[in-house]
Amino acid sequence: MLSNYEIVETLNMIEKENLDIRTITMGISLRDCCDSDVKKALTKVYDKITFLAKDLVKTGEDIQTEFGIPIINKRISVTPISIIAESSDVDNYVEFAKVLDKAAYETGVNFIGGFSALVHKGYTNGDRKLIASIPEALSVTDRVCASVNLATTKAGINMDAVKEMGIVIKELAEKTKDKDSFGCAKLVVFANAPEDNPFMAGAFLGCGEPECVINVGVSGPGVVKSALEKVKGADFATVADTIKKTAFKVTRMGQMVAMEASKRLNVPFGIVDLSLAPTPVVGDSVAHILEEMGLEKCGTHGTTAALALLNDAVKKGGVFATSHVGGLSGAFIPVSEDAGMIDAVQCGALSLEKLEAMTCVCSVGLDMIVVPGDTSASTISAIIADEAAIGMVNTKTTAVRIIPAYGKKVGDMVEFGGLLGHGPVMNVSNFSSEEFIQRGGRIPAPLQALKN
């Protein structure tokens, strides 16, 4: 039972510090939807999603109303479509994206993730078709998100896929140029992608996951910042302890919502993702947490150390509050979705190079980065390769969600709206990586140990 003090404390977190459940995501396996007849396969996919997720949105809204806890998004993740669609004799998988979009509208979810391929060790024919379909698929749908995993610590980096994804991202940017290349915000390129991630745009349901499962992603940067305001000037041991205690409280709320949703939907509970997910709302910024530790501006010297402390303390505090931790779990540092990050870029404190260094110690990678529209495909591929290398060598998930905004140059602002916010166009190196990217092949995995 919660004490009166804890109830009041939680209400203050919600009302004054932007505490929320960022997403309830229902994972749905589509492995039994494979069919050589594409029309039958599409029907199976639509019918299964709409049947299992028919009450997802209503359940989230009911829990929000009854408990007073904001639940911002209700989402669906599915088995990678490259696996499901390759039994069908079709040249591209755009129709699968369209049926996912139709199912998302029918169920009322914000996004559906899983237009995905896993190519870290090589391509199947289905993988090739899916990746080639991404530009059109994401340009003709609204709620479909795509991802490609092209590196793991055990397999190394598929540099052929790295090269191709630079081209795909450029094509997608051009196809959605009338929306400031918004299509690229729905595509993530991964190393070491988790199978149970509830956050978009990278969510998919891995092949080792259940038939249907409920995963929850919590948030709360504003809560952590408020807690740190009460220990101004304290040493870092106190800072870490304060963050741990706060993360415990935030995650406990996530566990409660996850279990309640699981019970009402009669679907197994999967994991709680501990990630601190910021928004463009003032007071809900990861950058401002780092600045509360004593940095004049996020991006100055000391930022990586501060982020490392934050990420570790969040995980240590959260792991005691839930029976199953999963997903990405850490601190997101998306530029366009974080008011503090946006300010840091605009004043010159935060560069792409510094963001890359920060990704060595955070949970994800270069997220919602807007770059000039004339950035070459090979430069984008090289940025992906750098992030994949960080993930591969450090045995962690890294990702790139980059938007080469068509017609935009450094200093321009791109408006996406909602949780995706607005992003300043960041500078990239003018020096070429073309010859490096053209080599192709596979960068070998780092030596972990002389055993399997």
What backbone torsions phi and psi does residue 276 show, to the nearest 5 degrees?
-80, 105
Tokens of 73: 């998004």
Residue 16 has pLDDT above 60, yes or no: no
Task: Find the mean pLDDT for residues 162-190.
Answer: 94
Look up residue 180 and give its DSSP letter: T
* pLDDT value, residue 13: 59
**Chain mean position to CA 252:** 21
Contact 225, 207 (CB under 8 A): no
Cα separation, 362 vs 287, whole angstroms: 12
* pLDDT value, residue 277: 75
Give residue-wise pLDDT tens across range 344-378.
Answer: 998 899 999 998 999 888 767 888 889 999 999 99
Give residue-wise pLDDT tens across range 87-97.
Answer: 998 999 999 99
* pLDDT value, residue 222: 80
* pLDDT value, residue 2: 47
Look up residue 276 and give its DSSP letter: B
Tokens of 81: 């479509």
* pLDDT value, residue 5: 47
Q: Is the peptide bond before 201 cis (omega within 30 degrees of 0)?
A: yes
Q: Which domains does the chain have, with CATH numbers?
A: 25-191 (3.20.70.20), 216-440 (3.20.70.20)
CA distances 174 to 148, 370, 432, Å, are 19, 14, 21
Task: Find the mean pLDDT for residues 61-69.
Answer: 86
* pLDDT value, residue 190: 93
Residue 43 CB neighbour total at 10 angstroms: 14
Q: Which residue has the higher pLDDT, 298 or 10?
A: 298
283: left (phi over 0), alpha (psi -120 to 50) or beta: left
Task: Find the mean pLDDT for residues 12-28.
Answer: 74
Residue 451 has pLDDT above 90, yes or no: no
Look up residue 40 and give its DSSP letter: H
Mean pLDDT of the chain: 88
Give residue-wise pLDDT tens across range 144-157.
Answer: 999 999 999 999 99
Single out the residue of 351, 424, 360, 423 nearest to residue 386, CA to CA. 360
Interior CA angle at 155 toward 313 and 89, to 5°?
A: 115
Cα separation, 308 vs 209, whole angstroms: 30
Look up residue 373 and give its DSSP letter: T
* pLDDT value, residue 302: 95
Cα separation, 442 vs 120, whole angstroms: 9
* pLDDT value, residue 99: 97
Task: Find the mean pLDDT for residues 1-14.
Answer: 52
Task: Pick from 61-75, 218-232, 433-447 the range whose average pLDDT is largest.
Answer: 433-447
Cα separation, 332 vs 288, whole angstroms: 13
Look up residue 48 and give its DSSP letter: H
Q: Which residue has the higher pLDDT, 108 or 414?
A: 108
pLDDT tier, 280 (very low <50, low <70, confident <90, very high otherwise): low
Cα separation, 75 vs 202, whole angstroms: 12
pLDDT tier, 4 (very low <50, low <70, confident <90, very high otherwise): very low
Tokens of 19: 């505490």
pLDDT tier, 1 (very low <50, low <70, confident <90, very high otherwise): very low
Single out the residue of 339, 321, 341, 337 nearest to residue 329, CA to CA. 321
Q: Which residue has the higher pLDDT, 40 or 338?
A: 40
